[in-house]
Amino acid sequence: MDFELVDEPVWERRQDFFKLNPAGEVPVLVDENGMIISGSYAIAEYIEEGYNEPPPFLGSTVLERAEIRRLISWFDVKFYHEVTQGILFERVFRQLMQYGPPDGETLRECKKNIYYHLDYISHLTMQHNWLTGEALTLADLTAAAHLSVLDYLGDVPWDHAPRAKDWYALIKSRPSFRPLLADRIRGFKPPSHYDDPDF
């Protein structure tokens, strides 16, 4: 699908954006018909049901869909609260909102937690290339989205988990992932390996 990314500084709490999503949070999708869908999971289901060609990103059977949804929740809830949220707030939002220097204790805790999650990705990909089996699913894309944010900031210890790194390299090499890797946060420069699929 062709798409256009729109920069939304959520910390500015623009009233026009609240009209799109009363929660004031990204992501928000506005489709070609003007339909507004908010939240990453709702957007993913909307695209899956309305636009995606087989194979499905949410699995073909009830058990596959349950496992994919479990892992989506793992990364969107557990990984987000234990790793992404703290690092992103301390390294990016504090600066953008002019809240002062990062809290070192929060960063240390989040950076410690990421090792466990990288080990889990390595475990899940021991038998196959993707998190839930032989096909790329929304679970892989969800995990990769979180890791992409952290990798942009240079906060993923890839040397600790070569198997997780190989899995992420497969996702980085997909043509559909390349536009996301080309996106930049104003005022923050990613490490040189960030958009290199052979990092």
Whole-model pTM: value is: 0.83
> What mean pLDDT is reported for the chain?
91
Model pLDDT, residue 198: 82
Instruction: Domain 10-50: state its class.
Output: alpha beta
d(CA 165, CA 74): 19
**Domain 62-182 adopts which CATH fold?**
Glutathione S-transferase Yfyf (Class Pi); Chain A, domain 2 (1.20.1050)
Residues of the chain with CATH 3.40.30.10: 10-50
Helix (H) or strand (E) holding 95: helix 94-96
| Confidence category of residue 56, pLDDT binned at 50, 70, 90 | confident
At 75-113, the pLDDT tens digits run 999 999 999 999 999 999 888 888 888 899 999 999 999
